[in-house]
Amino acid sequence: MAKQVVTRTYTASIRNQQRVSDDLDALGFAASKLWNVGRWTCSRIWDEIGHVPNHAELTAYLKSHKRYDDLHSQSSQRVLQELAEAFNGWYGKRRNGDMRANPPGYRKHGDEHPRSTVTFKVAGFKLDAQYNRVRLSQGSNLKDYWSDFILCKFQTRPDVDLSAVENVQQVKAVWTGDEWELHFVCKVEVVVSESPGEKTAGIDLGINNFAALAYEDGHSELYPLNCLKQDDYYFSKRIARCDDSNSEQATRLNQKKSERRTHYFHTLSKHITTRCAEEGVGTIVIGDLSDIREDDETEESKNWGKHGNLDLHSWAFDRFTELLTYKAEMEGITVKQVSERDTSKSCSCCGRKRDANRVERGLYVCDECGTTANADVNGAENIRQKVSPSSPNLSVNRSNGWLAQPSTFLFDKETGAFTPQEQVTS
């Protein structure tokens, strides 16, 4: 055991949601508009001189733009920093020969701007942890008076006490799809375990099986999404019966739905971390879905159908990865994110890449080497191999058995835990 200073993000619900939601909406829309202004600027500079502006250059260029003053200066800086990082990531792929890589897209759907996350650094917020309140600064363009701010009353989990945290570095206002919530980014000292081993495991995130795991020594596991889909269907029906989507009843239903989803992610991330520790896994490799959320040709959000959009374009995958990362860290396990591009098309045994090999959603059949695999497990193994392509345990018999017949774990509502499929009672 050793002590280590780590970054932790604590999520809090906003108790006075109705009172502050309009002001937070204005900030979220403003962040999207500033992103789009920066996106257009980067594109113009790239087209003219073939240069990708860094964060400092982009900020200096847009500091006098009217959209910059819609947010607190540090919040505007953070929007442009994220954009510069996204452009540099795209340029890095191009430089390495990936000519199919696309630059970051605009945050706009038709004539509508989505609500973007707004980050407040130290000068942009004032925390009153004793009374669970935080003041968030607005940009000068959105203020009626020079001293205007948004006062959010928040509630964290019972085991989180922000008054005991010495260093709160950032506050993020995050739109979940139903309501706003706050993320407090803090530096805390924790006791972490030694690494349980040197093995690797790959995780593929999806819209049918939420997670598929492929372990280095051959076996694999599936975690279907059925529980969350049932909740989405149930609560959507209940909310649709409400007279007003902003009514107190609808608000309570949305909050309960969000709490159940959060509990699911906490439970799943803890279960996977524990399983990996038991298997001697020291590194978890997880897919980064940012590459597949935008259409390759239009650069707009892909349409994956009604239920696909619900999962792919929500905060679900990012939230889960965040929870998995800090829970794994406590067990001495490192989490690495890699691109998922082409992992669903390639055979994890011979490397053959072909769209038609994915016969249907759950089945992958390689026309080159004859491997038959669960499609999600095949993707998870490809993700794992991006970090550990020549693992010493690859000498195991990677036959169709472990690829095609993974163990399945379901969320048991009776126990509130993940259990092998054959043992689930509800």
pLDDT tens for residues 13-26? Answer: 999 999 999 999 99
Q: How confident is the model at residue 311 (pLDDT cuts 50, 70, 90)?
A: very low
The C-alpha atoms of residue 406 and residue 374 are separated, in whole angstroms, by 8
Residue with the larger pLDDT of the pair 211 and 414:
211
Closest of 210, 204, 200 to residue 373, by C-alpha: 204
Q: How confident is the model at residue 201 (pLDDT cuts 50, 70, 90)?
A: very high
The whole-number average pLDDT for the span 96-123 is 83
- Chain centroid offset of residue 224 CA: 18
Average predicted confidence (pLDDT) for the chain: 83
pLDDT at 388: 86
| pTM for the predicted model, two decimal places | 0.65
In degrees, rounded to 5, the angle at the alpha carbon of residue 233 between the alpha carbons of residues 229 and 239 is 140
Q: How confident is the model at residue 318 (pLDDT cuts 50, 70, 90)?
A: confident
* 295 neighbors 104 (Cβ within 8 angstroms): no
Q: How confident is the model at residue 1 (pLDDT cuts 50, 70, 90)?
A: low
pLDDT at 393: 54
pLDDT above 70: residue 300: no
Residue with the larger pLDDT of the pair 400 and 366:
366
Closest of 38, 104, 40, 103 to residue 71, by C-alpha: 38
pLDDT above 60: residue 291: no
Residue with the larger pLDDT of the pair 314 and 42:
42
Residue with the larger pLDDT of the pair 288 and 154:
154
The C-alpha atoms of residue 65 and residue 35 are separated, in whole angstroms, by 12
For residue 105, give the amino acid letter: G
Return the top range by mean pLDDT from 75-84, 218-227, 364-373. 75-84
pLDDT at 312: 43
* 181 neighbors 115 (Cβ within 8 angstroms): no
Least confident span in 97-111, 129-143, 341-355, 362-376: 97-111
Q: pLDDT tens digits, residue range 345-372?
A: 888 888 888 877 777 767 888 888 887 8
Of the chain, the percentage scoring pLDDT greater than 70 comes to 88
Strand partners for 181: 13, 174
pLDDT at 76: 96
pLDDT at 202: 95
* 137 neighbors 148 (Cβ within 8 angstroms): no
Residue with the larger pLDDT of the pair 240 and 223:
223
Residue with the larger pLDDT of the pair 242 and 139:
139
Burial label for 147, CB within 10 Å (0-12, 13-18, 19+), is exposed
